Amino acid sequence: MRRPHIGRRTVLVAALVALTLAFIGVTLASSRWLRAARIDLTADHLYTLTAGTQHIIDGLHRPLKLTLYFSDHATRDLPQLRSYEQRVREMLQEMVARSRGRIRLQVIDPVPYSDDEASAEGGGLTPINGGSNGERVFFGLVGGTMPPVEGEERSLSIPFFDPARETFLEYDIAKLLYELDQPSKPHIGLLSPLPLAGNPAIGAAPWAVVQQLEQLFDVRTLDAGSLTRVGADIQVLLLVHPKRLPDAAVYALDQYVLRGGHLVVFVDPDAELDTTPYVDSNGLTDDHNSNLPRLFAAWGVAFDPRSVVLDRSRALQIELAGSSLNHPAMLGLGPQELNHNDVVTASLQRINVSTAGSFDLLPDTQNRLLPLIQSSAEAEKVPAQRVLEAASDPTTLLQGYRPDNQHYVIAARLRGTLRSAFPQRAGTPGHLAQSSADAEVVLVADTDLLSDRLWVETQSFLGQPMLSVFANNGDFVTNLVDNLSGSSALLSIRGRSASQRPFTRVRALQAAADQKFLLKKQELERELAETRQRLDELQPAKGGRPNATSAQQKSEIEQFQQRRLAINKELRDVQHQLNAEIDALGLRLKVINIVLVPALVTLIGLLYGWRRVRQSRSRR
């Protein structure tokens, strides 16, 4: 029996059908089983989650729902914000992919006067003005638990994604996930002889900073006299103005830090809110300063409780005896003095301090001091006693003022391996001799920044007290506690690189051109000044020889006009040269992207095809 002949055309069609079916099958299989497989080819791995974020997502105890609100229609004329929204959405999608179903993401465009807009506002988002047709722009994230926790409102939000805060994008989202997953408020300890928590017996309200903390945390007041151990449930301990602490309390603090506890120490060379008499009935003196000498020495920290940092360039203006004057010991520290690479101070604009001290490291320590707040280079350190003596006239502190040309560290993170200040207790059951290699303590050399008078004032509105904030002192403390009360995984997430990449070559060309323009401008201004001076010299001769003087003036003016035109032409030539260099650079990039790369791909394809044809012919 003769076999039916199958033509080459039929074989090719069958092969194409088989390849098409195989491609569809592989695509469907990869979308189902390889959904989480991704490759990050960006320069700084912008879309690769850090180990800390992965740990938080992998350890979620309950499913979470995230809702990203973005005013798509209102931002059609805001390309920078739209580009950043894509960055935020891709980061969220990466977290959703990592969660394997524990996180669900919904994206909503809250158009004006809609239920979605009301939902965005109800979730705590803050809109900005400036959208198309004057519309408000929402760009924030609302997170909640699924299903909602009974009897507890578990909804948190990021009110607005500020592009200026892009380096902390992953941290902010991971922090929201971590806080949503926690069943209760973090426990915060407060240990201080100052009346921060108020005094209900006499009707004294807590300081505003404590009121702010109590809205977010469970604040517990500790007693130094009975403190022998800091419980493991205390996630952050605020130690404010430590004075004459019992050894048992110091040892409790020592072991708390070595166990991995988060301690924030506020010391001060002159605590102005300390009401202790300078000389008590027993003749004991009190300088109103505070220190933690035993622990500081063990940690490698240098702190002088009798020195105050002055800074005439950052002096606050105060009212004293009916006149306004600048107080060089009361400082208003702005963005230049705040560390904007740290998540705690990244978004702050101003912190006020008064009679603050400074920290440094001892010569033999291996630990690191990472500044959060520092003075300007115009600062000078003086004895605290001199500041006290100048209380009635702070301007005397400027007499003989000599800047030290040094940025004094007023607040910082201390990181490293911290050793116990009680080596004699080695061998005692439960005693720790040193911490892990990544232990951290936050040091602040001022207690007055916590007081209301330096950052907030109380005003009456419709008969109710209302706080009016004029500095970020409260935000600084809240950010500190918020940052430290998170897990160690959350603390490990640092600022990332920004997704925007500048055209460095174009910037270099513009900088060079700007320098040329500056030199030409200075030359023109010098010649203008010389010409005016020459004209002024000719003025007295007016009465004697008006015609000659007038002719001389005309000659000077004409020469100046000609020179000015020549210099303006040179300025235009520099600008044209700059534009030509930038255009040439752009043309080279276009040629590479549009012509060279496709030509190389085509050439490689032709070479590969030619080689295949040659190999097939050689086999025949």
Residue 360, pLDDT score: 97
Mean pLDDT (the chain) is: 83
- Token readout for 588 is 């080279």
Q: Report the greatest alpha carbon distance in the chain.
A: 134
> Is residue 337 predicted with pLDDT exceeding 60?
yes
pLDDT band at 311 (very low <50, low <70, confident <90, very high): very high
Range with lowest mean pLDDT among 136-140, 254-258, 506-510, 561-565:
506-510
Mean pLDDT over 473-477 rounds to: 94
| Residue 151 predicted with pLDDT over 60 | no
pTM of the model: 0.67
Return the minimum-mean-pLDDT range out of 31-35, 51-55, 173-177, 542-546.
542-546
pLDDT given for residue 543 in this prediction: 47
Instruction: Give the Cα separation of 354 and 388 in Å (integer).
Output: 12
> Percent of the chain beyond pLDDT 90?
47
* pLDDT per residue as tens digits for the range 44-97: 556 678 888 888 899 888 899 999 999 998 898 888 899 999 999 999 999 999
Predicted confidence at residue 505, as pLDDT, reads: 58
In tens, the pLDDT along 369-416 reads 999 999 999 999 999 999 999 999 999 999 999 999 999 999 999 999
Residue 542's pLDDT is 44
Assess contact for 88 and 169: CB atoms under 8 A. Answer: yes
In this predicted structure, what is the pLDDT of residue 113?
A: 86
Picking from 179-193, 317-331, 511-525, which range would have the lowest pLDDT averaged per residue?
Answer: 511-525
Structure token digits, residue 352: 């006020």
Amino acid at 129: N
What is the topology classification, in CATH, of domain 187-273+286-491?
Rossmann fold (3.40.50)
Predicted confidence at residue 121, as pLDDT, reads: 92
> What would the pLDDT profile of 231-258 be if each residue is shown by its tens digit?
999 999 999 999 999 999 999 999 999 9
* pLDDT average, residue stretch 477-482: 92
Give the pLDDT confidence score for residue 385 in this predicted structure.
93
Report pLDDT for 368.
96
- Of 3.30.200.20, 3.40.30.10, 3.90.1150.10, 3.40.50.1820, the CATH number of 51-181 is 3.40.30.10
pLDDT above 70: residue 585: no
Stretch among 74-78, 552-556, 602-606 having the lowest mean pLDDT: 552-556
Backbone angles phi, psi at 182, to 5 degrees: -85, 135
Q: What integer pLDDT is reported at residue 252 of this predicted model?
A: 97
H helix runs in 504-545, sequence order: 504-538
More confident residue, 436 or 550: 436
According to the model, what pLDDT value does residue 549 have? 53
Q: What's the whole-number mean pLDDT along residues 514-528?
A: 61
Q: Where in the chain is the domain with CATH 3.40.50.880?
A: 187-273+286-491
pLDDT at 581: 62
DSSP H or E stretch at residue 468:
strand 464-469
As given in the structure block, the two tokens for residue 140 are 């924030």
Quickly tell me which residue has 């303006």 as its tokens.
568
Quote the CA–CA distance of 233 and 255 in Å, as a whole number. Answer: 14
Amino acid identity for residue 139 in this structure: F
Choice between 220 and 73, residue whose per-residue pLDDT is larger: 220
Whether 38 shows a pLDDT value over 70: the answer reads: no
> DSSP E strands: which ranges in 47-151?
64-70, 103-108, 139-145
Give the H or E element holding residue 479. helix 473-484
546, pLDDT greater than 50:
no
Q: Is the pLDDT of residue 504 over 50?
A: yes
Contacts of the segment 563-570: beta carbons below 8 A, 24+ positions apart: 563/527, 564/524, 564/527, 564/528, 567/520, 567/523, 567/524, 567/527, 570/520
- Higher pLDDT: 461 or 366? It is 366
Q: What is the pLDDT of residue 499?
A: 52
Average pLDDT in the 174-178 region? 89
Other CB atoms within a 10 A radius of the CB of residue 284 amount to: 10
Using the structure block, give the residue that is written with the tokens 């035993």.
Answer: 294
What pLDDT is recorded for position 403? 94
Q: Could you tell me how far CA 532 lies from the centroid of its own chain?
A: 51
Helices (H), 136-264: 169-181, 208-216, 247-258
Q: Where in the chain is the domain with CATH 3.40.30.10?
A: 51-181
